[in-house]
Amino acid sequence: MNRAQYTGWPSSNFPVSTFGLDFIQTQIMTAAAFANSAGGNYILSGCSVTGTTAASGLMVLNGEVITFTGGTIQTTIRVKETASDITAKDVTYTGAYKTRIAEFGSNVGGADTYNWADIVVFPTAAYLAANKADKTDVEALRNLIMPKGFIGMWSGAISDIPTGFALCDGSTVSGVVTPNLSGRFIVGYDAASANIPANATDTTENYGKVGNTGGKGSVTLTINEMPSHDHTADNVCGQGDGSYSADRGSSRWSEDRATIKTNKTGGDQAHENRPPYYVLAFIMKVV
Q: What average pLDDT does the segment 28-42 reach?
A: 83
Q: Alpha-carbon Rg of the chain, whole angstroms?
A: 45
Confidence tier at 128 by pLDDT (50, 70, 90) = confident
Q: What is the mean pLDDT of the chain?
A: 84
User: For 183-207, what is each residue's pLDDT tens digit?
Assistant: 988 888 888 777 665 555 555 557 8
Length of the chain: 287
Lowest mean pLDDT among 67-71, 107-111, 119-123: 119-123
Confidence tier at 249 by pLDDT (50, 70, 90) = low
Q: What average pLDDT does the segment 170-191 reach?
A: 92
Q: Is the pLDDT of residue 8 over 80?
A: yes
Cβ atoms of 168 and 179 within 8 Å: the answer is yes
Sign of CA dihedral 146, 152, 153, 157: positive
Query: DSSP assignment, residue 33?
Result: G
The whole model's pTM is what? 0.47
**What pLDDT was estimated at residue 279?**
93
Higher per-residue pLDDT: 95 or 137: 95
**What pLDDT was estimated at residue 108?**
92
Cross-strand partners of 154: 281
DSSP labels, 17-49: -HHHHHHHHHHHHHHHGGGGGG-S-EEEEE--E
Pairing of strands 91-104, 64-68: parallel
How many percent of the chain have pLDDT more than 70? 86
**What pLDDT was estimated at residue 199?**
58
Q: Is the pLDDT of residue 122 over 60?
A: yes
Q: What average pLDDT does the segment 67-78 reach?
A: 96
Q: Which amino acid is at 261?
A: K
**What pLDDT was estimated at residue 41?**
92
Higher per-residue pLDDT: 16 or 73: 73
Lowest mean pLDDT among 139-153, 180-194, 256-270: 256-270
**What pLDDT was estimated at residue 95?**
92
Measured CA to CA, the distance from residue 192 to residue 128 in angstroms comes to 52
Q: What average pLDDT does the segment 44-59 reach?
A: 95
Strand order in the sheet with 113-115: 113-115, 76-88, 91-104, 64-68, 57-61, 42-46, 120-121
Q: Is the pLDDT of residue 251 over 60?
A: no
Cβ atoms within 10 A of the Cβ of 147, count? 9
Measured CA to CA, the distance from residue 212 to residue 208 in angstroms comes to 8
Measured CA to CA, the distance from residue 229 to residue 223 in angstroms comes to 11
Higher per-residue pLDDT: 141 or 79: 79
**What pLDDT was estimated at residue 252?**
55
Specify the DSSP element, H or E, that contains 115. strand 113-115
Q: What average pLDDT does the segment 269-281 reach?
A: 84
**What pLDDT was estimated at residue 33?**
83
Q: Is the pLDDT of residue 147 over 60?
A: yes
Measured CA to CA, the distance from residue 189 to residue 174 in angstroms comes to 26
Give ∠ CA 163-164-167 in degrees, rounded to 5.
90
Give ∠ CA 184-189-192 in degrees, rounded to 5.
135
CA terminus-to-terminus distance, the chain: 53
Measured CA to CA, the distance from residue 186 to residue 211 in angstroms comes to 10
Measured CA to CA, the distance from residue 28 to residue 21 in angstroms comes to 11
Specify the DSSP element, H or E, that contains 253. none
